[in-house]
């Protein structure tokens, strides 16, 4: 129950406060300004102040403005010696939470203190919660920025080919990721993956999976073996309800081959030099993080001049418009088939995202979307 400072020099009111029938309420008294200042300078244990605002010998609510170097954040109840609307209004404008007019009944005193204390405690709780939420949001913003920065942002391509990737998150943080990294002998590692779920848990698991795949790829040159080893580590951690689908390819621009393996990821789309578009046929496998002993296989794609490859997550095809119509893979195939033969990797990605955004027409993004394109000139 609250501890109340009474700033008043009326003995009858003090006697009312000292009645033994008060249950749980504690009162301390200051009959002059100096005593009041002493209490307020050490107000850590005070919950409420009852302040006489129309006494000629007391400073009233102005006392709170005169404290040097101290801010007292306790609710104040104005105490009036007579019913005076103008004085009550001024007290409320000066920061009083409520007011009492003498003679005060025991029930009115206790009820007013309880009501003001409860209201202020609710307000304090709301402020604390708001401060906590703001701190959490700041940390999420920092984490989002870190996540954004760890994804490759420079897509230089190379002699005779172009590369580009983009990710759009459904929430502030993403469970999708892509990666492009250099390997021995001038080869490139290309990864697109999709972690189960969205938000912070998926983003954390995404960081683990990305780091694991990249680190394994540096020493294990076979995409299938890389998948198997990364899968084994994730399974041994045994994180409930978390898994990741992934496509990993090793691109060799010297002979235009892409050795690739899949862990439950939807097949990439292959743009042939003759203009036809279809799914890349080859291999599939179990998502990473479910079964430790699952064997993965790999296949080889030979990129002909003009061929393009689009690796994506299901957030592209499973986007919805405002009427809950789905974007669908067929729409993506039609968009790719309509591109000119000279469209590079960035143009491919731009076309797919532009079409998806036009289709959604303001609908909320339900899932993360990632697209990585490789095009041989």
Query: How confident is the model over 77-123, as pLDDT tens digits?
Result: 999 998 888 888 998 988 888 899 999 888 888 888 888 888 877 88
What does pTM read for this prediction? 0.69
* CA gap 312, 5 in Å, rounded: 67
Mean pLDDT of the chain: 88
How far, in Å, CA of 369 to CA of 178, rounded?
A: 11
Q: What share of the chain in percent tops pLDDT 70?
A: 97
Which pLDDT does position 262 carry in this prediction? 95
Q: How high is the pLDDT of residue 97?
A: 87
Where in the sequence of the chain do the CATH 3.40.50.2300 domains occur? 3-128
SS (H, E, C) 324-361: CCECCHHHHHHHHHCCCCCCCHHHHHHHHHHHHHHHHC
Sign of CA dihedral 212, 216, 221, 227: negative
Mean pLDDT over residues 54-69, rounded?
84
Mapped to the 3 state alphabet, what secondary structure does 184-217 carry? Answer: HHHCEEEEEEEECCCHHHHHHHHHHHHHHHHHHH
98 with 115: CB under 8 angstroms?
yes
Q: Please provide the distance, in angstroms rounded to a whole number, between the alpha carbons at the two ends of the chain.
A: 78
Distance between CA atoms of 10 and 26, rounded to whole angstroms? 18
Is 31:55 a contact under the CB 8 Å cutoff? Answer: no
Distance, CA of 200 to CA of 134 (rounded, Å): 16
pLDDT tens digits along 12-25 = 888 888 887 666 67
The residue whose two tokens read 């104005």 is: 78
pLDDT at 348 over 80: yes
Question: What integer is the mean pLDDT of 139-165?
Answer: 81
pLDDT for res 1:
64
> Residue 356: what pLDDT?
94
Q: What pLDDT, on the 0 to 100 scale, is given for residue 48?
A: 87
The pLDDT of residue 345: 95
CATH 3.60.40.10 domain range(s) in the chain: 151-376
pLDDT for res 313: 94
Q: Using CA atoms, how far apart are residues 213 and 223, in angstroms rounded to an integer?
A: 10
The predicted pLDDT at position 180 comes to 94
Is the pLDDT at 71 greater than 90, yes or no? Answer: no
At 206 the pLDDT is 85
CA distance 123 to 116: 10
The mean pLDDT value for 286-304 works out to 92
Does the 151-376 domain belong in CATH 3.60.40.10?
yes
Residue 155 has pLDDT above 90, yes or no: no
Q: Kindly report, residue by residue over 160-209, the tens digit of the pLDDT.
A: 999 999 998 887 677 889 999 999 999 999 999 998 877 778 888 888 88
Asked if the model's pLDDT at residue 44 lies above 80, the reply is no
Closest CA to 2 of 130, 131, 119: 119
DSSP letter (8 states) at residue 196: S
Residue 257's beta-bridge partner residues? 252, 302
The average pLDDT across 56-84 equals 85
pLDDT at site 358: 94
For CA atoms 80, 83, 84, 88, the dihedral sign is positive
> In whole angstroms, what is the distance from residue 314 CA to residue 264 CA?
12
Class of domain 3-128 (CATH, top level): alpha beta
Tens digits of residue pLDDT in 213-260: 999 999 998 999 999 999 999 998 877 888 999 999 999 999 999 999
Residue 126 confidence (pLDDT): 82
């Amino acid at each position: 129950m609250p501890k109340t400072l009474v700033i008043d020099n009326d003995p009858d009111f003090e006697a009312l406060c000292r009645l033994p029938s008060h249950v749980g309420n504690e009162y301390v008294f200051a009959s002059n300004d100096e005593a009041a200042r002493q209490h307020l300078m050490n107000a850590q244990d005070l919950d409420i102040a009852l302040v006489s605002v129309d006494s000629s010998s007391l400073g009233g609510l102005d006392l709170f403005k005169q404290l040097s170097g101290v801010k007292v954040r306790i609710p104040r109840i104005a105490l009036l010696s007579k019913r005076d609307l103008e004085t009550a209004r001024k007290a409320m404008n000066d920061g009083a939470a409520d007011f009492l007019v003498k003679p005060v009944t025991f029930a009115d005193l206790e009820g007013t203190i309880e009501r003001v204390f409860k209201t202020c405690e609710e307000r304090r709780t709301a402020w604390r919660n708001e401060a906590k939420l703001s701190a959490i949001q700041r940390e999420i913003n920092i984490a989002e920025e870190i996540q954004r920065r760890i994804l490759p942002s420079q897509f230089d391509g190379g002699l005779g080919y172009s590369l580009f990737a983009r990710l759009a998150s459904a929430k502030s943080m993403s469970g999708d990721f892509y990666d492009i990294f250099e390997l021995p002998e001038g080869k490139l590692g290309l990864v697109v993956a999709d972690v189960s779920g969205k938000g912070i848990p998926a983003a954390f698991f995404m960081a683990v999976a990305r780091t694991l795949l990249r680190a394994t790829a540096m020493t294990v040159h076979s995409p299938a073996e890389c998948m198997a080893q990364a899968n084994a580590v994730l399974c041994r951690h045994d994180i409930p309800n978390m898994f990741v689908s992934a496509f990993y390819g090793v691109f060799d621009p010297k002979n235009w081959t892409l050795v690739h393996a899949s862990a439950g990821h939807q097949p990439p789309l292959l743009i042939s030099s003759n203009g036809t578009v279809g799914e890349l046929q080859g291999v599939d496998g179990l998502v990473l993080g479910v079964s430790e002993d699952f064997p993965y296989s790999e296949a080889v794609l030979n990129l002909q001049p003009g061929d393009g490859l689009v690796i994506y997550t299901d957030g592209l095809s499973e986007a919805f418009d405002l009427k809950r119509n789905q974007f669908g893979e067929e729409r993506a195939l039609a968009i790719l088939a309509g591109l000119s033969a000279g469209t590079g990797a960035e143009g491919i990605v731009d076309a797919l995202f532009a079409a998806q955004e036009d289709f959604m027409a303001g609908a909320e993004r339900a899932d993360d979307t990632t697209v990585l394109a490789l095009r041989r000139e």
